[in-house]
A and B are shown apart, each in its own frame.
Chain A
Amino acid sequence: MTSLRIFAVGGLISYRALFYWLSFWIFVPSLVIAPIFQILLFAYIGRSAGLESDQFYVVGNAIQYAAIPCLFAMTQLIGGEKYQNTLGAILVSPAPRLPLFFGRVVPVVGNAAFVAAFSLTTGSLILGVHIPGSAILPLALVILVAAFSCTGLGLINAALALRIRENAVLSNVLFGFLLIFTGANIPVSELPGWMQAVSERIPFTHAIEAARELVDGAALSSVLDLIGTELLIGCVYLVAGYLCLRFFEWQGRRHATLERS
């Protein structure tokens, strides 16, 4: 029961207290307006270069932009404790670590899914991309899985925040890598072999492919393998993130670097 309370209440309070972008004046420019312009930018580059349809860029960028809340929120929800001088108090508490850290994942997944869904809807309306009604629920599932998957990467990023100072820089760099490697704007088949190998193993690649097939009219059953792979990737990153957190917590205690900011 205590674990459940730490998971739910602790996660929610941490999100409200530590996700600095929750202010309306940061949330709207950064997570509502910016993704729309990212979609427009690449859709117009695509038109200029005579490449894919608008639908390709709307779907790719809407899902890929979920990386911003996933990466930044997770970092701020755990690394932010350092700047609030509450990290020590959290880590000396007897609270079980699993619900403590995973409780912070749930609001992040919800927020990222909202950002992706809103971007997809607005981008489609602006550029006149038709999304079949039958694809809406399966798309919601894909977006949720994509958000979960990238939050796993966000947890690794958050673990690194226990060790390094420049979390905002690292989060932006990870976002840039995802922009190139996930096939959001360049078909994965057009990337060099080594980049394709990387893209197979990172969040979003399979979710974006599944979402594109759904918008093209495919049935949910035909993309279940892609969704399953994305989910598996998310689980692997989440476990890796948790192990990294425990490792850096142990390292921080050993070298007295937890409060380094």
Chain B
Amino acid sequence: MKHIVASIIALLIVVAGVWAQSGQADQFNGTWKLNVAKSTTKWQAHPQPKVAEPQPQSFELITMSIANDTLDYKVEYARANERHRKANYTARYNDARWQDIHGDPDGPLSTLTLVKTNDRTHYWVTRGKDGQFAGLVVRQMAEDGKSFTSVGLGGDGYVQYVRVFDKQ
């Protein structure tokens, strides 16, 4: 009887450990707001090659819900004083499948596939409406997990923007 109880307890510990590990929240989970001042500073410090002026953005609010390596992404953004626009998509990391971006995405993006290179870094590989390569977006989490930097890279290999988002 003692053996059975000990075995059950050991099994529960193992299962709990696995569950805890799988349930560890992806650091990108949550709501993130564009920090315009930090973005400007980071853009200025970003080395060449980059375009002369970054794509303007005055407001951006991102919500990322990630479970089982699937990212449910929602964004609301505005350029200068223009009206707010919204877009969303759902995609799984590292499945090499192309997912539609719904709504009114920023720039000429139509579909994307997500590549997670490590816990702090993931990429959007994008196509435009013509099905052709439309550039990369790399998102790298700060070591403290409180902010991440998003860098847009055009098909010509020039950086289009550098944006910093703070956790809300």
Do the two shown chains form a genuine complex with each other? Answer: no
Task: Give the interface of B toward A (CB within 8 A).
Answer: none
